[in-house]
Structure 1
Amino acid sequence: MIVSHAEPLVAVKAHVVSWQARLSAHRAPLVTVGGVLLLAQAVLLFQQRTFVDLFYDSGNYLAVAHHMVAGAGIFNHLRTPLYPGFLALFLTLDLPHPIATAVLVQMLLYGAGVCEAYVLAWRLTGQRWGAAAIATLLAGNLYMLQWERTINSEGITLWLLITLFLVLERALHAPERRRWVWLLGGLLVAVVLTRPFFVYLPLLVLGGMLVQAWRSGRFAAQWRQLALVSVLIAGVLGGY
């Protein structure tokens, strides 16, 4: 069988055209949400007059990040490692303004979280403008927007949680669910290692998925993977 070299390009082009057609229906709601987000960013910048804001626990995060850069490892009694590791990444890149760059990335992640909130709300409701209204509440929330400019883990945690629940929706409803379950497990670990407040979230999420699988008649097909993911999460978090 002879396969033309042009066939992969045709497939990619068809995939791109399909995505463009799907996104065109969401253009107006997303532009509205984006406009609110940009306006809120401008208002916040005018209010604060500073690009980087320090909170009472910012010093701890920065201290742990510097310890990581110095080779002291990821284990520290002050903070769990993921957010200090995020800061340490920018410190090791030898940038002119590493912390400001980290804040810029936090702003981009907040914007990504707003878009993900729109997608999640649309998948759950099927209403484009209803999803836009929900995402707009997040985009225009000046209190929450302050987190993205602050050296603390709240902004990153918010993005991780929105991403986690978006992946959870896929793990429950997508035709190919198994890969989404693995990604869900990784996100659960990331959330806990960012904010240990959510240490019981894996139990709630995976336990809820087991109950849902039992009620929908898919328990026999799913319990092994969910059990394995649970063991891996417990191993990583327990080992830490």
Structure 2
Amino acid sequence: MTDWPATELGLAFGLVLLGASLQVATGVGLGLIAGPALLFFLDGATAIQTAIILNLVLTACLLPAELRDVAGRPLVHLCLWACLGIPVGTVLLLVANSTGLKIASGVVVLLAVAQMRFLPASRPAHAGSSSWVVRAGGTVSGGMTGALAIPGPIALWTLLNGGLKPAAVRATLRAYFLVAYTVALLIHVLLTPRGEDSLSLSVVLLPAVGLGIGLGLFGRNAIGSDRLRQFLELVLVVMGISLLSRGLWDAF
């Protein structure tokens, strides 16, 4: 189903497995790992479309347990503005070269680590967010979904400024992922000619998502989410620096 070298396929499988495990154990992981990791091996459109499919499957598996905490109004507003940004991000993905995508991914991943460190999701949100926060946050998050399959950092910032409790932030963010990834996948299928490659590769990598769910549940109970979150930050720092340095090396 894929003509990848075994070493590259094995590395991609391991990174998706790691990302899915950390997503289950800590709440974040696959969205920040899958797309950037696949950019090491694939062209931009195929990498991001594959990452969208994998993230969509994982989100659909995790959301049912959190549905009761979803905040409907913030979710609707965030999704509406994201739907404006996703097509723009997809077009940017199609016109950007691999060097620019690597640099952009490296910067986004490193900024996400800074957000996780200094603005954690468990921090109490401030009530009374203004409309421009939702508009800007939803549009930029949608753009990042279409271009890099990374909707989380900006969407989290938006919800934290909306006066929601931590449980509602997590659940609403998950529900938003389901909508954003679905819309992004539909737009990618319409605009990119690589759907068959992405679908076949996603099928190959889906077992890694399934195994990651089991390992994440085990790790959360056996090791603790705090230590796993520290490990996630370390992985993301290494990945962000690697992507950024490789992109800058290609550029200069």
Normalised TM-score (structure 1)? 0.29
Q: Indicate the structure whose relative CO is greater, using CA pairs within 8 Å and at least 6 residues apart.
A: 2
Larger helix fraction of residues? 2
Normalised TM-score (structure 2)? 0.28
Structure whose alpha-carbon radius of gyration is higher: 1
